[in-house]
A and B are shown apart, each in its own frame.
Chain A
Amino acid sequence: MIIKLALRNILRNRRRSAITLTVIVFGAVGLILFGGYKARTFYALRESTIRGRIGHLQIFRDGYSKAQSHKPLEYGIEDPTAIRKEIERDPRVKMTAAQITLMGLVSNGEKSETFLATAVEPPKDRAMNNQRLTAGTDLPDGESDAVLVGAGLAKSMHAKPGDYLTIMTTTTSGSLNAMDVRVAGIFMTGVKEYDERAVKMPIAGAQQLLQTKKIEKLLVFLQNTDETAAAHSAIAARVHGIEIREWSELAPFYHQVVALYNGIFGFLGIVVFAIVVFSVANTILMSVLERTREIGTLMAMGTTRGRLRAMFVGEGIGIGIIGGLLGVSAGWLLATIINHGHVMLPPPPGYTLGYRLEIMLQPPVLITAFLVSFVTATISSIVPAMKASRMKIVDALGHI
């Protein structure tokens, strides 16, 4: 009977209930859209960071992180073949890629600029597909003097595919070395500051320039990001003399974005919570005031305070369930429409490329939106329910 009364009382003043449900639906939709956008952003940022730049795991020679060396590659890996073979035996591992980072000066004969180069294995780099070529081609196989140049740097150096530049850096022994390189292509990552300094070159070319056979690190790419910790443990148990670092330690930007978005999402949640609380509390409080004489009648007939409270909290629960379900449905529908609409967002600060607005419809986001609606509406009904249950019967019966 409590459920029946609660539901019928929700339908009693349909316009007021509709307004309250609309508020809840808006709140739930807001949570779903922002929560789904946040989930999608986290996922995309994490996967692009891992698969495009840093890998799931990075393997260094033991002692690398504690070394205070000023010489490049002093703690590099001499012969990665055996380590690589051992790591790639793990079925979770998709591939490994050797990498060297170096910096120096690049010149076109007229002007010089500093550069930050990443030396890669061209076939692996193509597989990572982490940059957008704006001109020319990817790094070719077997051509150690081919380079890709960041769009900003290419503009500054007036370089185009086919042009030659000279790059200069300190070798592993501490002397200076230079080599002429051919611009194979021009690329863009979307990060303006990086594109103004970036060079990508084959690892063989970097080793030639640095006069070494070493590599700096091995990037390990897994089939599934969720298996990072397990793969880390397995590799650490099998391969000795190495240091392993997980992507999470190497991606401070990702964690900053997560913290920022979680803060915004938390604030949004509080705003939604407050709006729903006041709206539902107002609806039920109005209902209590309108039904004062009815409350007196119910109490006169022997309805206990507890049962009266349950009746009004039941209305809050009913509004929460209906509002939550409608909100989740509307949020799901709107997110689907947005995902099919190919809406493009402008580039974020520091970026030069816009990106597509996508809402990730994950069960946790939908469940959270429903639970926030349900719990908030239920909590909102407690004060009006207490007020109803504490009425004096005589006063309630005499209420006009």
Chain B
Amino acid sequence: MPSNDVITLKSVSKSYPLGRLRVQALHAIDLTIARGELIALAGPSGSGKTTLLNLIGCIDKPDQGRIVIDDADVTAIPLHRLASLRRDTLGFIFQTFNLIPVLTAYENVEYPLLLQNMPRRDRDLRVRRWLAQVGLADQAKQRPDQLSGGQRQRVAIARAMVTEPKLVLADEPTANLDSETAAHILDLLAEINTATNCTFVFSTHDPSLIARAERVVRIRDGRLDDRQPATASRQQAELLTA
């Protein structure tokens, strides 16, 4: 019987070479994330939150420990063989939007569905629905350089959501946006989370974003901050950030 946990990390460690040294980015992280959660990975720059997000997103491998995504142990599988898992189970939202500049908003959102070989008619319906959902139905033919920062991030959200993934990973999704646009993006993410029951994990050091999370996982120097229990509820997070 499938578990309700979409992510399980057990004693996950990761280090990087830095010149002749090795920098320990994560130390024996244990973390469980349930289906439908909206979780913030909070911490200062260099704390290891992006590294943790990369490991969860199957775009980097841990040195030690186990990672289970949607009941599949991905620890021993080479990254290039996890392309189908990333395609079907995960969605990514990047700080710098990372849209394909030569494709229109419509085509950017359509791209993940093409990877899934979805029939054209279904694909069109899905793309139009998600562009409407993020409020960009009229900007479908615009290329990224013709869109504002907020609009680009909306396209990126639609692209991440269009495959209806179980888990969306967002690395500092509002860092390149002004506060008003960031607030709108946060509203949108929360709305989608409620509507779809998709799990959202985002890294941030933005207090307003942390305040919107159901649960906050704090990281400091590559370790989960013991002062913040990993299973804290939204209310606890709000108390902590208040």
Residues of A in contact with B (beta carbons under 8 Å apart): 1, 4-5, 8-9, 11-12, 293-294, 296-305, 307, 392-394, 397
Q: Which residues of A contact B240 (CB under 8 A)?
A: none
Q: Which residues of A contact B112 (CB under 8 A)?
A: 301-302
Sampled A-B contacts (11; CB under 8 Å) = A1-B107, A1-B114, A294-B100, A299-B83, A300-B59, A300-B86, A301-B159, A304-B80, A305-B83, A393-B60, A394-B59
B59-A301 in contact (CB<8A) = no
- Expressed in whole angstroms, the minimum distance between the Cβ of B130 and any Cβ of chain A is 15
Report the Cα distance A331→B111, complex, angstroms: 40
Is B88 part of the contact surface with A, judged by Cβ < 8 Å? yes
Residues of B in contact with A (beta carbons under 8 Å apart): 54, 57, 59-60, 79-80, 83-88, 90, 92, 94, 96, 98, 100-103, 107, 110-112, 114-115, 159
Q: Which residues of A contact B114 (CB under 8 A)?
A: 1
B86-A302 in contact (CB<8A) = yes
Given the known interface contacts A300-B92, A301-B86, A302-B86, the answer about A394 and B80 at a Cβ–Cβ threshold of 8 Å is no
B115-A303 in contact (CB<8A) = yes
Given the known interface contacts A1-B111, A300-B92, the answer about A393 and B87 at a Cβ–Cβ threshold of 8 Å is no
Report the Cα distance A300→B88, complex, angstroms: 11
B80-A305 in contact (CB<8A) = yes
Report the Cα distance A24→B169, complex, angstroms: 44
Known: A301-B112, A304-B83, A307-B115. 4 other contacts (CB 8 A): A11-B102, A297-B94, A392-B79, A394-B60
B86-A8 in contact (CB<8A) = no
- Expressed in whole angstroms, the minimum distance between the Cβ of B111 and any Cβ of chain A is 7
Q: Which residues of B contact A300 (CB under 8 A)?
A: 57, 59, 86, 92
B94-A302 in contact (CB<8A) = no
Number of A-B contacts (CB under 8 A): 66
The 10 closest A-B pairs by CB, nearest first: A302-B87, A8-B102, A393-B59, A297-B98, A302-B86, A394-B60, A304-B83, A1-B114, A302-B83, A300-B92
- Expressed in whole angstroms, the minimum distance between the Cβ of B104 and any Cβ of chain A is 10
Nearest-CB residue, chain B, relative to A396: B59
Q: Which residues of B contact A5 (CB under 8 A)?
A: 100, 102-103
B79-A393 in contact (CB<8A) = yes
Q: Which residues of A contact B103 (CB under 8 A)?
A: 5, 8
The 8 Å CB contact of B98, one of A4, A12, A294, is A294
Q: Which residues of A contact B101 (CB under 8 A)?
A: 12, 294
Q: Which residues of A contact B57 (CB under 8 A)?
A: 300
Most chain A beta carbons < 10 A, residue from B57, B83, B92, B94: B83
- Expressed in whole angstroms, the minimum distance between the Cβ of A76 and any Cβ of chain B is 80
- Expressed in whole angstroms, the minimum distance between the Cβ of B162 and any Cβ of chain A is 10
Most chain B beta carbons < 10 A, residue from A8, A9, A296, A300: A300
B102-A12 in contact (CB<8A) = yes
Nearest-CB residue, chain A, relative to B100: A294
Report the Cα distance A161→B75, complex, angstroms: 102
B84-A298 in contact (CB<8A) = no
- Expressed in whole angstroms, the minimum distance between the Cβ of B67 and any Cβ of chain A is 15
Q: Which residues of B contact A302 (CB under 8 A)?
A: 83-88, 90, 112, 115
A299-B59 in contact (CB<8A) = yes
Report the Cα distance A5→B104, complex, angstroms: 11
Most chain B beta carbons < 10 A, residue from A9, A11, A301, A303: A301
The 8 Å CB contact of B87, one of A12, A301, A394, is A301
Nearest-CB residue, chain B, relative to A5: B102
Most chain A beta carbons < 10 A, residue from B54, B59, B60, B102: B102
